[in-house]
Amino acid sequence: MNPINRLGGRRLNLKNRLEEPEESLPRRHRPDYWLVIIVVILLVIGLVVIYSIGTALGLANNVSNNFYINRQLLAIALSVVAFLAASKIPLVWWKKYYKLIIAAATVATLIAIAMPVNPQYPAHRWVRLGSLSFQSVELVTFAVVIWLAKFLSDRIKNKQLSNTRKAFLPLVVALVVMGAVIAGVQSDLGSIGVILGIMTICIFVAGMPLKKIVTVSVLIAIVGILAISLTPYRRARLESFLHPSSNCLTSGYQSCQALIAVGSGGLLGLGLGRSVQAYGYLPESANDSIFAIYSEKFGFIGDMVLIGLFVALFTRIKRIAVQAPNNFTKLLSVGILTWLSIQAVINIGAMIGLLPLKGITLPLISYGGTSMLFVMLAIGILFQISRYTSYVQLNRNDSGDKQKERLNDDHTDRGRLRRAYNATPSGRP
Amino acid sequence: MKPSFSMPTLVSGVSRRANIIYLVLMIIMGIFVVRLFYIQIIKYGYYHAAALSDQQKEYQIPATRGIIEAHQGNSIVPIVLNQELYTLFVDPTLVHQPKKVAATIAGVIGGSASNYQQEMQIKGTRYVVLARKLTKAQSSQILAYKYPGVGTQGQDYRSYPDGDLASQTLGFVNNNGQGEYGLEQALNSELAGTPGKLKAITDANGVPLAAVPGNIDRAPIPGDNIITTLNMGIQAQMEQILKSEYKKTKSQRVSALVMDPYNGQVVAMANYPTYNPANYSAVSNPSVFQNGVVDDDIEPGSSMKTLTTSAALNLGAITPNESFYDPAHWVIDGFNITDIKQDGGAREQNIASILALSLNTGATWMLMQMSHPGGTQITGHGIDAWYNYMTNHFRLGRITGIQQGYESPGYVPPPNLADPSIDLRYANTAFGQGVQLTAIQLGAALSSVLNGGTYYQPTLVDATVKPDGTVVKFKPKVLEKNVVKPNIGPELVPLMQNVVKAYLQGGFYFMNFPSNYMVGGKTGTAQVAQPGGGYYANIYNGTYVGFVGQGKPQYVIVVYNIKPNIPGYAGSYGGQPIFADLVHMLINDGYITPN
């Protein structure tokens, strides 16, 4: 037993700090408004693109020209509420009530599976209420991110990360169950891929031995190859990815049209109102293919701006993750970073012919309410975490008194330092 | 002593690995930038071209074809109109439920659903025509289902308010919008107009996108309307006459022509058997498309004697009242040219009886007079003179240029004096064997004699109406002046009237016309050449050329009866009755302008 434990109240205090650092967060300070600014710009870009192809979408789906933009505005309004809520909810709540979220995700998935399917999209992926629909897998992904942060931070705390039975097995079981339901029943290989990516990266970041990760990866690769080779349309997609030009009229149609859209944008793009590919050539122009339509409109320059914005977003999130006050919030931030970045990479990669098509939306840009809602909820959580970040750039040099002192006292970077200390406690955010 | 912290180490481990993930992510973003540079900058030309080849479509906007009109009484009425019908097509790559779609289509327009379904599953094409000539109602009914990949395309079709009236003269318009046969072929460019052009960036369904610059939109220029010289009343009656005579004579074809000798305008022109141009594709024997009046170049037989007589009169080789001794046969190049026995053998004959009795020896004698007045030899001089009259004055051996598709030039044997049997050959051509004429050539040539010596190009066009409504009157086109002297017509007229009289006296009572009308004519019964030489023993063509009028010949009429299956002379029994019916009709229905 650690001798410190027997040293009385002062030492017990210290123990508390060590064992449950999450309960005693550093002082609140000014949150990361840059995060919000970047997110708002991305949302506006998405709205502009969806608005500008409203006519094409209306024609293709036999709805009014404003149908899509109105629904997207509604989704964003709901998402802003979610963001505000998440930015107020104490971070410990997520940890305390993660089981509720998992339960909600399970129920939503069961309802989606039980619901009669839409003949146009014969997959059990949606919960429908009147004209609103809800994609259960988005909630599942969100739940996975929360659960992973809680689970892994607990395992780190208990030093059980290398324990096969305590740490590894539950993860594998969770993956197998989700794989069976999402890939098997809901036939949504893209989403399970995203979840798998989130899990793998979070486990790696948490510090699980690489050997285990590699073992599981090999197993998953085998299952994945089987899943693809047993389903004709997936095989066709992969085939068309490997030989894009030979299948332009059949299975590779969307890939070809996406490349044409991106390429024909050129340096400056065709202009906001001048996308042609949205008019029936490129399927899913508001959702999966929105990056290609954006590229067609705004060209290479526009793409640099958009990718720059995503890089900025990811950089802010990474920064929040690195500076987050404890392992739960760190892993939560990493989970969200992984979630958003994997979706962005899969989506853009498919549009520029580097990855096969997976039916994954581009976060904050694509049309789609459920995705928007949970992404904004996650952004709200990040925003909340950013109130408690500390300048803990320990890196490899974590010995030496000065830096340890900074760990304890210096919660902010230099710019915020002055404001934080000059302000009265009541005036602090 | 300070406590040893394990937390910071762990935290830093998480952060460090988060940084690794971030670094990987940034590398991926860097790859994306490079890839975008490659696609959008380096390969821009390729993708720009690929986009255009998909998105840019060029359409021809068909111009409205001009309509065709004709005279009826004092008014002008349409005989060919346009009607918009629809072609139903599918893009097999876009049809999701071929069985269902096929059943729907069959339900609307009839036909076999399984056939439609088969055609919808043809691979390797994006355009399959399922049906043509749908009505507007049928088209909208099918389009209302909004099946992907199913579309209709409006197209103008010709419609014929008078059914098969003047069908060969009009011709038809094929599925590609090209006129075939008749006026439609000859005046295709005037009728067709200039198609418009639409070059535009379109959506995937081919609908042009207004917002994209660089589109070309040129409106089509409609074709001219044509007002023909045809008289509907005469045309319709002529067709009835031809039909009933055709049935009596069981011919291969009967054709007739009524034209105005003073300007070349064709008043009526018809053939039987005929067809309905609205349904031309149902015709199994395409020879029915031919307008025999301009296309059947046959040996006319004795009706040719009118032209030989005119030439000889004009040359002064003979005079209208001249008599000569007919030996009943000439031996030329070792062959006998004889008359038929009924003509009474060797005796005194005159010019009138040459035509009335249709003496071949008489026609040969006229050629001898053209060679040397008073002589009984055919010489190169006579041959050249006859050839000159036929080809240069009467313009035989070349097309007249009437506005008809597939006009035949006919044939006049060249005056090759080195040919040992050239005399025999020309003795024959003088009475219409070994020379080939179309009815329109014969009619135009006789017209030039009767009108005082001007050869008008035969025409079917009275006026053209431009898209802006301007009416351009068609002026008679003079192709030859001084064909014959002005007095030759008046000399020929009584000779031909005499032929009519002689037939009436010979028992052809249908040739009895009111005495205040001027009716003249000449029969022709021609042997039909066998392919490979010689003539058929029992097959003849019957021809007739004549005129009717008051005070002067008002109409020239030509009748061709191809291979009538009748006893007796084809000209007298196959051609002459049609001529007689036509003349009676013209007189009885008041088409003859009173003197």
Q: Are residues B163 and B237 in the same domain?
A: no
CB-based burial of residue A62 (10 Å sphere; 0-12 exposed, 13-18 middle, 19+ buried)?
exposed
The predicted structure's pLDDT at residue A120: 62
DSSP string, B257-308: EEE-TTT-BEEEEEEES---GGGGGG-S-GGGGS-HHHH--B--GGGGHHHH
* pLDDT over 60 (residue A423): no
Q: Are B201 and B297 found together in one domain?
A: no
Range with the poorest average pLDDT among A206-210, A331-335, B410-414: A206-210
B37 close contact with A: CB closer than 8 A: yes
What is the distance in angstroms between the CA of the first residue and the CA of the last residue of chain B? 147
C-beta pairs of A109-113 under 8 Å, 24+ apart in sequence: A109/A136, A109/A137, A109/A140, A109/A181, A109/A182, A109/A186, A111/A136, A112/A136, A112/A186, A113/A181, A113/A185, A113/A186
Residue B201 falls within a domain, yes or no? Answer: yes
Check whether residue B195 and residue B246 sit in a common domain.
no
> What does the pLDDT read at residue A244?
62
Tokens 């009835």 belong to: B240
At residue B363, does pLDDT exceed 80?
A: yes
CB contact under 8 A, B44 and A264: yes
Q: Which of residues 209 through 268 in chain B touch A, CB cutoff 8 A?
A: 209, 211-212
Question: What is d(CA B299, CA A345) in angstroms, rounded to the nearest whole number?
Answer: 88
Rounded to an integer, the average pLDDT of A224-247 is: 72
Q: What are phi and psi of B378, to 5 degrees?
A: -95, 125
Kindly state the tokens that stand for A5: 């434990």
Query: In this structure, are B391 and B270 located in the same domain?
Result: yes
Q: What is the CATH number of the domain that holds B94?
A: 3.90.1310.10
* Mean pLDDT along residues B522-547: 92
Q: Are residues B152 and B267 in the same domain?
A: no
pLDDT for residue B501: 96
Q: Which of A185-189, A230-234, B484-488 has the highest mean pLDDT?
A: B484-488
- Over the stretch B555-573, which tens digit does the pLDDT of each residue have? 999 999 999 999 888 889 9
Best residue in B6, B9, B32 to probe A by mutation, most A CBs within 10 Å?
Answer: B32
Predicted TM-score (pTM) of the model is 0.66
In a domain, residue B506? The reply is yes
Q: Residue B208 carries which DSSP code? A: B
What values do phi and psi take at B507, rounded to 5?
A: 105, 5
The verdict on residue B483 lying in a domain is yes
Inter-chain residue contact A21 with B7, CB threshold 8 Å: yes
Chain B contacts of A201, Cβ < 8 Å?
A: 21
Report which residue type is found at B570. A
Arithmetic mean of pLDDT, B505-532: 94
A295 and B25 in contact by Cβ < 8 A?
A: no
Q: How far is A251 from chain B (nearest CA, A)?
A: 12
Average pLDDT score over residue span A235-246: 69
A-to-B residue pairs, Cβ atoms closer than 8 angstroms? 165
List the single best residue of B1, B4, B15, B97 to mutate versus A (max A Cβ within 10 A): B15
Asked if the structure places residue B119 within a domain, the reply is: yes
The answer to whether residues B122 and B242 belong to one domain is no
Task: Report yes or no on B30 lying in a domain.
Answer: no
Judge: A322–B33 Cβ closer than 8 Å, yes or no: no
Name the band, by pLDDT with cuts 50, 70 and 90, for residue B200: confident
The CA distance from B63 to the nearest CA of chain A, in Å, is 29
Residue extents of the structural domains in chain A? 28-391
Least confident of A310-314, A343-347, B94-98: B94-98
**Cβ pair A263:B47 closer than 8 A:** yes
B98-109 vs B136-143: helix axis angle to the nearest 10?
160
Alpha-carbon distance B40 to nearest alpha carbon in chain A (angstroms): 4
pLDDT of residue B497: 96
As a whole number of angstroms, the distance between CA B13 and CA B15 comes to: 5
Whether B37 is covered by a domain: the verdict is: no
Note whether A307 contacts B33, CB cutoff 8 Å: yes
Token representation of residue B132: 């043509």
B212 closest CB neighbour out of A276, A299, A330: A276
Q: Are B91 and B203 within one domain?
A: yes
Residue B392's CB: how many other CB atoms inside 10 A? 12
In Å, how far is B140's CA from the nearest CA of chain A? 18
pLDDT band at A328 (very low <50, low <70, confident <90, very high): very high
Task: Among B228, B249, B264, give the residue marking a domain's end.
Answer: B228
How close is the nearest chain A Cα to the Cα of B276, in Å?
A: 44
Alpha-carbon span B422 to B426, nearest angstrom: 6
Residues in CB range of A323: below 8 A, 6 or more apart:
A389, A390, A391, A392, A393
Which of residues B69 and A12 earns the better pLDDT score? Answer: B69
Mean of all residue pLDDT scores within chain B: 91
B residues 290-349 lying closer than 8 A (beta carbon) to A? none
Contacts of A4 in chain B (CB under 8 A): 3
pLDDT in tens, B209-238: 766 667 778 888 999 999 999 999 999 999
Q: Residue A54 corresponds to which tokens in the numbers above?
A: 């409203």
The answer to whether the peptide bond before residue B327 is cis (omega within 30 degrees of 0) is no
Q: What is the pLDDT of residues A350-369, one digit of tens each?
A: 999 898 888 889 999 999 88
The 8 Å CB, 24+ separation contacts for B502-507 are: B502/B356, B502/B357, B503/B572, B503/B576
Cβ neighbour number for residue B568 with a 10 Å cutoff: 12
Three-state SS at A266: coil
| Contact between B211 and A274 using a beta-carbon 8 Å cutoff | yes
Q: Beta partners for B85?
A: B155
With 80 as the cut, is the pLDDT of residue A345 above it? yes
Band of residue B59 on the pLDDT scale cut at 50, 70, 90: confident
From chain A, the residues in CB contact with B11 under 8 A are: 326-327, 330, 392, 394
What the block records as the tokens of A180 is 């069976």
Q: With pLDDT > 90 as the criterion, what percentage of chain A qualifies? A: 46
Distance CA A83, CA A80 (A): 5
Residue B29 is nearest to which of A201, A300, A307, comparing CB atoms? Answer: A307
Angle between helices A327-351 and A189-206 (to 10 degrees): 140
Environment class of B123 (CB within 10 Å of its CB; exposed 0-12, middle 13-18, buried 19+): exposed
- The verdict on B197 and B222 lying in the same domain is yes
N-term to C-term CA, chain A: 41
In a mutational test of the B interface, the residue from A57, A157, A203, A264 whose CB has the highest number of chain B CBs within 10 Å is A264
Domain count, chain B: 2
Please name the residue that has the structure tokens 């909340």: A384
Cα B451 to Cα B491: distance, rounded to the nearest angstrom: 12
Residue recorded with tokens 């959580």: A381
In a domain, B457, yes or no: yes
Q: Which of A94-103, A275-284, A352-361 has the highest mean pLDDT?
A: A94-103
Residue B35 located in a structural domain: no
Q: What pLDDT digit, counting tens, does each position of A134-149 carry?
A: 889 999 999 999 999 9
B11 touches A: beta carbon within 8 Å: yes
What pLDDT shows up at residue A13?
Answer: 43
pLDDT in tens, B289-330: 999 999 999 999 999 999 999 999 999 999 999 999 998 889
Residue B9 contacts A, CB cutoff 8 Å: yes
Q: Note whether B373 and B426 are same-domain residues.
A: yes
User: A315 vs B22: CB contact, 8 Å cut-off?
Assistant: yes
Nearest residue of A to residue B96, measured between CA atoms: A120
- The predicted-structure confidence for A9-60, as pLDDT tens digits, reads as follows 444 444 444 444 445 677 788 899 999 999 999 999 999 999 999 888 887 7
Both B493 and B418 in one domain: the answer is yes
Output the pLDDT for position A186. 85
* DSSP H/E element including B158: strand B150-159
| CA separation for the pair B142, B109 (Å, rounded) | 9
CA–CA separation, A399 and A408 (whole Å): 14
B431 contact partners, CB below 8 Å, separation of at least 6: B301, B302, B304, B305, B308, B358, B360, B363, B364
- CATH number for the domain spanning B503: value is 3.40.710.10
Q: Are residues B98 and B205 in the same domain?
A: yes
A297, A279 Cβ separation under 8 angstroms: no
Cross-chain residue pair A304–B33, CB shorter than 8 Å? yes
The confidence band for A247, taking pLDDT boundaries of 50, 70 and 90, is low
Query: pLDDT (tens digit, 9 = 90+) per residue, A201-220?
Result: 999 999 888 888 888 888 88
pLDDT of B199: 83
Contact at CB, B48 and A266, closer than 8 angstroms: yes
| pLDDT for the residue numbered A20 | 45
What is the average per-residue pLDDT within B145-164? Answer: 87
pLDDT at residue A85 tops 80 = yes
Interface test with A, best of B10, B12, B14 (most A CBs within 10 A): B14
- Nearest-by-CA chain A residue for B202: A276
Give the pLDDT score at B8.
Answer: 43
Domain assignment of residue B142, given as a range: 66-228
* Residue of A262, A279, A315 lying closest to B209 (CB–CB): A279
pLDDT at residue B66 greater than cutoff 70: yes
Contacts of B19 in chain A (CB under 8 A): 318, 322
Q: Which candidate, B274, B365, B290, B294, places its Cα nearest to that of B323? A: B365
Same domain? For B211 and B311 the reply is no
Mean pLDDT of chain A: 82
The Cα B437–Cα B451 span in angstroms is 20
Supply the pLDDT for residue A126.
82
- Closest residue in chain A to residue B49, using alpha carbons only: A264
Q: How far is B86 from chain A (nearest CA, A)?
A: 24
What average pLDDT does the segment B355-361 reach? Answer: 92
Mean predicted confidence (pLDDT) in A288-307: 95
Within 13 A of B242's CA, how many CA atoms are on the CB side? 29
Instruction: Enter the tokens of residue B533.
Output: 């030489």
What are the residues whose beta carbons fall under 8 Å from the beta carbon of B375, sequence distance 6 or more?
B368, B369
Element (H, E) at B542: strand B535-549
Tell me which residue of B181, B268, B173 sits closest to B223, measured CA to CA: B173
Which of B14, B28, B202 lies at the smallest CB-CB distance from A207?
A: B14
**Testing the interface with B: which of A17, A210, A260, A309 to mutate, by most B Cβ within 10 A?**
A260
Phi, psi at residue A39, to the nearest 5°? -60, -40
Interface residue of B1, B25, B27, B93 to substitute, partner A, most A CBs within 10 Å: B25
Cβ neighbours of A303 in B, within 8 Å: 36, 40
Please count the residues of chain B.
Answer: 595
pLDDT, average across residues A245-264:
79
